[in-house]
């Protein structure tokens, strides 16, 4: 009887040790990423291309089929859907606007089958353009929970690549003067 009890305790201890070991190797499914980038364009333009359907797919780095109810403004409670295509993989997202204060900041929550995250963008005017600060915080879901450190690394690379891609797409855009004019008109409508 004592051998069975000791064997059970030993087995339970081994299961706990293996589980803790797996968690230590993969890490938590929670992530926080904070990045900043300087972009040499007005903050109104950056806000516009990140929030308006007309521009989201154009500057969205893989973003397709962006949808918002016709006539609905980018404001708290607004819901959007879009598809993100990365190579052969397609991800469907639901986005809800949490906060929006043109042209200073906005925050959204994004959800898909593999991740739930909040993104907060802040825009500060500088002598040369705009300082963009992005904070992304979330949790992996489903099978992605087991990604741990690898998943966080991939998410960090994606955030950095998206910010750099946005910077290059705006600063090197041959239609930049026209985009700046559209951003001025956009700002006047606010």
| Of the candidates 189, 141, 187, 172, the residue with the CA atom closest to the CA atom of residue 45 | 187
| Of the candidates 122, 85, 91, the residue with the CA atom closest to the CA atom of residue 106 | 122
Burial of 183 (0-12, 13-18, 19+ CB in 10 A): buried
Per-residue pLDDT, 158: 87
Q: What's the CA gap between 186 and 167, in Å, rounded? A: 20
Record: fold of 29-189: Alpha-D-Glucose-1,6-Bisphosphate; Chain A, domain 4 (3.30.530)
pLDDT in 10s for each residue of the chain, 190 residues: 777 666 666 655 666 555 545 444 445 688 999 999 999 999 999 999 999 888 887 777 666 677 788 778 889 999 988 877 777 878 788 999 999 999 999 999 999 888 899 999 999 999 999 999 999 999 988 766 667 677 788 889 989 999 999 999 999 999 999 999 999 998 998 8
18-55 burial: b if 16+ Cβ within 10 Å, else e? eeeeeeeebeebebebeeebebebbbbbbbbbbbbeeb
Ranges of each domain in the chain: 29-189
Give me the residues paired with residue 63 across strands: 84
DSSP character at residue 88: T
Residue pair 28/148 in contact (Cβ under 8 Å)? The answer is: yes
Strands laid side by side in the 89-101 sheet: 30-39, 129-140, 115-126, 105-111, 89-101, 79-86, 63-68
pLDDT in tens, 30-72: 899 999 999 999 999 999 999 988 888 777 766 667 778 877 8
Tokens of 2: 């004592």
């Amino acid at each position: 009887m004592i051998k069975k009890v000791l064997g059970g305790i030993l087995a339970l201890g081994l299961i706990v040790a293996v589980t803790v070991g797996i968690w230590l190797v993969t890490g938590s499914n929670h992530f926080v990423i904070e990045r900043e980038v300087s972009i040499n364009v007005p903050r109104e333009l950056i806000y516009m291309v990140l929030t308006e359907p007309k521009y989201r797919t154009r500057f969205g780095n893989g973003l397709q089929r962006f949808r918002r109810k016709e006539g609905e403004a980018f404001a708290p409670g607004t819901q959007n859907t879009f598809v993100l295509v990365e190579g052969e993989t397609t991800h469907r997202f639901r986005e809800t606007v949490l906060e929006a204060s043109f042209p200073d900041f906005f925050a959204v929550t994004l959800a898909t089958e593999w991740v739930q995250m909040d993104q907060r963008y802040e825009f500060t005017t500088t002598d040369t353009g705009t300082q963009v600060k992005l904070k992304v915080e979330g949790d992996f879901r489903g099978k992605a929970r087991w990604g741990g450190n690898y998943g966080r690394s991939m998410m960090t690379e994606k955030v950095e690549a998206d910010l750099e891609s946005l910077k290059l797409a705006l600063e090197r855009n041959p239609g930049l003067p026209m985009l700046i004019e559209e951003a001025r008109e956009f700002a006047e409508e606010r």
